[in-house]
Chains A and B, each alone.
Chain A
Amino acid sequence: MDSDDKDKFEPAKQNEDPMDFNSASISSDWQFCGANLSSAPMNLIRPGNSMAVCREDLIGSSSCSSAPMADSFGPALWDQPSTMENLGFVNVSAQNNLSTSNLLGIQKVGPESVRGDIGWNPPSSMLKEGLFVPRGLGTFPIPECLPHFPTDSGFIERAARFSCFGGGNLSSMVNPFGIPENAGLYPIAGGLVLGPRDILPVSCPKPVSGAQSEKNEMNVEACRDVHLAATRGTPQGSSLINEGESESLARSRGEAKQGATAGSSNESDEAEFSGGGGGGQDNPSMLEGTGGEGSAKVFDCKKRKWSGEDAEIDKGKGAPQLAETTKDDGRTQQKLENNPSSNTSKATAKNNKPGSQGSDPQKQEYIHVRARRGQATNSHSLAERVRREKISERMKFLQDLVPGCSKVTGKAVMLDEIINYVQSLQRQVEFLSMKLATVNPRLDFNIEGLLAKDLLHSRAGPSSTLGLSHDMPIPFPPMHLPPHGLIQGGPAGIGRPADPLRRAMQNQMTPLAGGFKEPSQLPHPWEDELNNVVQMGFVGSGGSGAAPSGQDAEGPPPPPSHTKVEM
């Protein structure tokens, strides 16, 4: 289920995202305006109530298909839209519908389904979240997740498009999702606030909401914990919703610290609360239908809560005002809150992005954050990010190429390593050319044979580096000396000293090899033993290190001028 969902989600996301973003952002903005400026609380509440009704149906069926919902819900919503807010909702929900329907694979054509999904508006937005979150969680060994994001060209586009809006980071990805969530928050919050209010007399809403906010906060924090722990998929979705709401409430109370203590011990409570909070929204069912990750027990809890809440919600259809005021407070508070959270998210590496989505959705909703993120998404910083990615990618590639570079961390050190390696290679080439120059093959040497041998050798052994080490003990010292003495002797004596030295060398060589042609055949039977024996003694100084070191002894006098001229 999980993998299926993911698979479904990826293409769907890519298709749907741009559209969704636009719509979501626009509509959400609109909505905010509507909510803030035009005071239409009653309308606001309505959807929540209707939602609740729908939910009942849903609970009854507890299926992903929103057909019954649509029937029951559509008319209610459509009756209402006398105010801006409702319109806003409709927009959001409609767009959400498109996306969510794609996501779920529930292809419903026609206004009916759309309307029904409008009823789902919160759930759909939640759904996205739920989908999103489980994905992050399911693939929590993050690297797997990661590639989707940065490599997604659409993402960059999107980010650019939302430069005024979304964050530079992945949070921008989350933003669009979160915003619909906000939109969804209205009805949800209505439902939520209403529920408790029903229990308690309406006259004293404040304490109630406060209490709820606390609980919700616990949920929120717990949810975060869950996010990080990546243990549960669905509770998050539902709790995320709660987060949205509860945050607004809880932040208004300014009790952000409680959640820290709310650890695993609160989990059951969380589950319940999330169920309860999410009861306002159709999340759980949606989530489970889509996310599929949800644990059965959580679901049960939710169901229980749902039924309870639905009853409550049905009862309590008053006091929208409170919800709104609290929401407003929450918004302002959240703005303040977002800063630290966003900072933390930035502090976490890119890898954590999918994981940190859980905390992100809370931030997105606020204009302040948008502005901040907008800075990060201007074209320059985007280009810079792309460039940095490229560089790090190539660094990685180089890391594979350069031996001994894999353990090194840090760009500067790695660069140094690479430079050293290139230098050593160049020195090696120089040294080997010197060595080859000192070799004086007979005139009758056979190129074909050389090529064949060379190719054969190259095919037979990647041990060519070893080759150097294994013949080092014998020929290397005399070979190595002549240029040394030669150069130190002075440029004037170049011609002379070379000849005796070479002669001496050949004298050394001939007894060893017993001829020119033979050595090529001789070493082969030996090679294994020699390799084994010599490797032991010489690899330390031999191998790649041997040539540079040998070169170092001789190198410094000639090469500096030499190399610069040559290379």
Chain B
Amino acid sequence: MAPEDPVTVSPPPPPPPPTPSLKTKIARRFVKSLAEVWTSRKLATEGGVRKRARRIKIAAYSSMARAVGGSRRAWSRALLAKLQGRAKRRCHLRSQRCLGLKRKRAGSRNMVRNEVSGSDKLRRLVPGGKAMDLCNLLEETSHFVQCLATQVKVMQSIADRYSV
């Protein structure tokens, strides 16, 4: 998503610990791509806020997914795939999603109604959750929530810095 400038690659002033925290990883990636969005002339002049916001959002999600290790987690895999092939596969995905949902409903008929709807909702929220069973879904959800919360924190701190 974010091609690396030689300028931006310089290490952060505090020497990074051997295993940088999730927040650090996310922040580094996100700041890079954010800088890219901010510095791109094209977006600044003609893009408009909304387009830039979309770009930033994509940058946020992809940096989050990459920070986790790209394809290590189901949700990050699904997220990256979705972000990358978004435009191409939109129709295809939609039809697939319908099919998937139908199948899920049929399969989980004997579950409690509330739980079905809840887990289905959750499936829609967690990327790649449509193909998971409840166990995996919950696991992925927990990880996803962690990362998302971290991402939100990073974004908030950046926003704080620049919005005052």
Contact = CB atoms under 8 A, between A and B. Distances in A.
Given A419-B122, A452-B12, A468-B159, A437 B35 contact: no
Contacts of A447: 7-8, 31-32, 35
Contacts of A519: 161-162, 164
A210 to B, nearest CB: 50
A433 interface: yes
Interface residues of B, number: 70
Contact of A456 (B14, B118, B154): B14
Centre residue among A434, A436, A498 by max chain B CB count within 10 A: A436
A287 to B, nearest CB: 42
B163 A450 contact: no
Interface string A397-434: 11001100000000110011011011101101110111
B24 A412 contact: no
A456 B12 CA distance: 10
A436 B155 contact: yes
Interface string B3-37: 00001101011100000000110011001101101
A332 interface: no
B151 A434 contact: no
Interface in A437-451: 437-441, 443, 445, 447-448, 450-451
Interface stretch (A237-245, A313-321, A388-396): A388-396
A450 B31 contact: yes
Nearest to A412: B114
A565 B50 CA distance: 14
A494 interface: yes
A244 B164 CA distance: 78
B90 A422 contact: no
A422 B119 CA distance: 13
B57 A450 contact: no
A513 B164 contact: yes
Given A464-B157, A468-B160, A475-B164, A455 B27 contact: yes
A483 B160 contact: no
B49 A498 contact: yes
B123 to A, nearest CB: 10
B77 interface: no
A418 B153 CA distance: 18
Contacts of B114: 412, 415
Interface in B39-66: 39, 44, 46, 48-50, 52-61
Contacts of B35: 445, 447, 450
B160 A433 contact: no
Nearest to A496: B48
B27 A566 contact: no
Nearest to A562: B54
A494 B48 contact: yes
A458 interface: yes
A435 B135 contact: no
B74 interface: no
B85 to A, nearest CB: 13
B31 A566 contact: no
Contacts of A438: 49, 53
B145 A418 contact: yes
A116 to B, nearest CB: 51
Centre residue among B8, B144, B153, B162 by max chain A CB count within 10 A: B162
A87 interface: no
A479 interface: yes
A486 B48 CA distance: 10
B35 to A, nearest CB: 5
A433 B152 contact: no
B12 to A, nearest CB: 5
Contacts of A523: 160, 164
B48 A498 contact: yes
30 contacts: A387-B134, A394-B139, A397-B142, A401-B145, A402-B145, A412-B112, A421-B145, A422-B122, A428-B152, A429-B60, A432-B159, A433-B54, A434-B50, A436-B34, A436-B159, A438-B49, A441-B162, A450-B31, A450-B158, A452-B12, A455-B27, A464-B154, A464-B157, A471-B164, A494-B49, A495-B48, A512-B164, A522-B164, A562-B54, A567-B127
Given A441-B38, A447-B32, A454-B27, 8 more contacts: A415-B119, A416-B118, A418-B145, A426-B148, A458-B157, A502-B49, A519-B164, A567-B127
